[in-house]
Structure 1
Amino acid sequence: MARRERTRHLIELGGLVQKAGLVELADDDRATLYGAMLDCAARVQADDAGTVLALWKRRGKRAFDAEETAEEEQR
């Protein structure tokens, strides 16, 4: 059961990478995507993590809300 939940979680995270447009921007190159994520992690560790994470969270919530609104308008 735990393995299935972990697999689902990983698939959802991959979906977010796709949804953010990173796959196309990196030309589907996994080394580039991994490097970008490592850069993000290093920036959070070097800066005020709370501020950076709060900014990312706000942006993500706005994007999810905009997507939900667009889906509702299509119905």
Structure 2
Amino acid sequence: MKYITESIKNIKNLLPYLLLIAIYFFFVNLEARKDNETIRINENEVKLIEEKSSEKNKQQRIKIPVIPYKQ
């Protein structure tokens, strides 16, 4: 019983620090979510650009100069 009361007192003393740590990780989590969203947006843009460029490549024609053969 004595151990439990001492533990509760220690937790009360450490509560402000635990609260600061919890707030810190909350904001770190928010920043990480923002980074993930921007990475997803960038990946989607890259995919769209690649799809457009592949469509353009399919429609392009290459002119090959033809020299008639003389006998």
Greater percentage in helix: 1
Q: Shorter-chain TM-score: which interval?
A: 0.3 to 0.5
Q: Which has the larger radius of gyration?
A: 2
When the two structures are superposed, what TM-score results if normalisation uses the length of structure 2?
A: 0.38
When the two structures are superposed, what TM-score results if normalisation uses the length of structure 1?
A: 0.37
